[in-house]
Amino acid sequence: MTFDEFVAEQGQPLLRLAFVLTGDRHLAEDLAQTALADAYRHWRKVAAARAPDAYVRRMLVNAHLSWRRRRSTTERPTELDETAGDWAADPGEAIAAREQMRLLLASLAPRARTVLVLRYYADLTDAAISEAMGVSESSVRATASRALASLRDTATLADVKENR
């Protein structure tokens, strides 16, 4: 597989993952390009890997977490920005619930949010998440468990659930 063929096949999924991770169109493009540039540099190794897409996904996740580490948490968006998802088509309660969930997710540590994205968006197993993030499976499970508990325990989320 050539690099161009890989990008043609995996570029869009990578970009979507980057967008869900960052919530920002420009950062997502930059993140996807950064991961692909890393892959291009080591293409022979990537192409020879058992699962090149998983290899590059790991590069993307690492780049994302590295960027997040170097940024102030105060930069984390707490409100929808203009490039975020289009909620306008959803009816009232669903909008409120999703917005609430989005704000709660924004309050999580980057690593915890990343675990949730990989598990509930990318549908990766804990083993695959541990490989993508370079941590143990038990760490993935613990992080996911704590993050979910944090989301569930939030009073405002309980209100949203009661109103469903």
Site residues, another protein (CB under 8 A):
3-4, 7-8, 11-12, 14-20, 23, 25, 27-30, 32-34, 36-37, 40-41, 63, 67, 70-71, 84-87, 90, 97-98, 101-102, 105, 116-117, 120-121, 148, 151-152, 157, 161, 164
Cβ burial of 145 (10 Å; 0-12, 13-18, 19+) is exposed
Please identify, using beta-carbon distances, which residue of 35 and 131 lies nearer to another protein.
35
Measured from the CB atom, the residue of 50 and 81 that comes closer to another protein is 81
80: left (phi over 0), alpha (psi -120 to 50) or beta: beta
The CB-of-152 to another protein minimum distance in angstroms stands at 5
Reported as type and span, the H/E element at residue 111 is helix 110-120
CB of 47 to another protein, least distance (A): 15
CB closer to another protein out of 27 and 135:
27
Rounded (10°) CA dihedral 43, 45, 48, 51: -90
Alpha-carbon span 55 to 60, nearest angstrom: 9
- How far apart CA 31 and CA 88 sit, in angstroms, is 27
Give the nearest distance from C-beta 40 to another protein in angstroms: 5
Tokens of 81: 């920005």
The residue (of 48 and 149) whose beta carbon lies closer to another protein is: 149
Least spacing, CB of residue 16 vs another protein, in Å = 4
